[in-house]
Amino acid sequence: MTDAPIDAQAAFTGTVLPEGADRLDEAKLTTWFEAHVAGFQGPLSVSKFKGGQSNPTYKIDAPSGPYVLRRKPLGKLLPSAHAVDREFKVQSALAPTGFPVAPQYGLCTDDSVAGAMFYVMGCVDGRTIWDGAMPGATPEDRRATYFAMVDTLAQLHAVDVDAVGLGTFGKPGNYFGRQVDRWTRQYRLSETETMEPMERLIAWLPQTLPVQDRVSVVHGDYRIDNMIFAHGAPKPLAVLDWELSTLGDPLADFTYFAMAWSTENGGRSGVMDLDRKALGIPELSEVVERYCAATDREDVPNMDWYLAYNYFRLAGIIQGIKKRYLDGTASSAHAKTMSDRVGPLANMAWEYAVKAGA
């Protein structure tokens, strides 16, 4: 899975002026903010973040401070996709626990305000690390940052879902069975051509599901560029992009994060082909050991099955982006580049399935 290296920091950092269907009605938005966002003072101005792929994300500047607005994309959407209301719910529930999330201000279900459902949260002052190699950082900073990510994920998986009001945020059991079924259905709905590795995975994965022995909030897309870190410190200030979150098996989250160690960097979150020792990036074995120690586990058995599942799931997600790109409704200029990755992801998933005994 080799992509041409990109300068992700430059490509995805900052904002642009929204164009066409991405433009928002500032008068309607101002009226909604005045009614629903505590402490808001106008006037407001709107720009769109360059990074991100799925839900259009805007920066709202106003005298009362900067805000972030995440909206469902326009156009025909797959069932249950782009659930910004769920993003708002899970972050609102986690905020009082001390888990690092942005402050949540309000959810708007009235499509007439911005064309689709959206929610508003605070704009956290920190930095996004788009490149897993962390250019310019010291080896000590890199090591501390990666361990901080492990610790933060363990903290999420320790949250008592009933105590924070998330007991009905998802079905507690048979997580992998339901996920394999879900992503098979989503893939079928956005399928553009027959891919043999996907056909083999769709047959093999349901027959080999691991036993689930824990239930936690699962973020669903936990990686370095979905976090905001403090300026000049390896401290996570906010975990972002909760679109795929639900209740499920915490090992799904951890092994998704572990994919970075089997993904080439290409200027993004992968660390497989980096000189990790020189850079100070911990090895996967150290990451597994730290996560297990923090979550009272002996080990993570059959990692190859989990990686096969995660690459399959990612192929299904990217296939959805590919279909939206072909239909002309994808929200990002990077959608074409993303859509070219489906085949390599499916191949990688099947390689891990073979390692797992397929």
Q: What mean pLDDT comes out for the span 242-270?
A: 95
Confidence at residue 1, expressed as pLDDT on a 0 to 100 scale: 40
Whether the predicted pLDDT of 278 surpasses 50: yes
Whether the predicted pLDDT of 312 surpasses 50: yes
Tokens coding 280:
């100070």
Confidence at residue 77, expressed as pLDDT on a 0 to 100 scale: 58
Higher-confidence residue of 1 and 200: namely 200
Whether the predicted pLDDT of 52 surpasses 70: no
User: What is the rounded distance in angstroms from the CA atom of residue 132 to the CA atom of residue 227?
Assistant: 12
Q: Which domains does the chain have, with CATH numbers?
A: 12-122 (3.30.200.20), 139-355 (3.90.1200.10)
What are the pLDDT digits (tens) for 160-186? 999 999 999 998 789 999 999 999 999
User: What is the rounded distance in angstroms from the CA atom of residue 230 to the CA atom of residue 113?
Assistant: 33
Confidence at residue 326, expressed as pLDDT on a 0 to 100 scale: 78
The least confident of 176-190, 271-285, 310-324, 333-347 is: 333-347
Confidence at residue 327, expressed as pLDDT on a 0 to 100 scale: 77
Whether the predicted pLDDT of 238 surpasses 90: yes
**Quick check: helix, strand or coil at residue 15?**
strand
Question: pTM for the whole thing?
Answer: 0.88
| Degrees, nearest 5: CA angle 141-253-341 | 85
Whether the predicted pLDDT of 11 surpasses 60: no
Confidence at residue 4, expressed as pLDDT on a 0 to 100 scale: 44
Confidence at residue 225, expressed as pLDDT on a 0 to 100 scale: 94
Whether the predicted pLDDT of 3 surpasses 50: no
Whether the predicted pLDDT of 75 surpasses 90: no
Confidence at residue 290, expressed as pLDDT on a 0 to 100 scale: 98
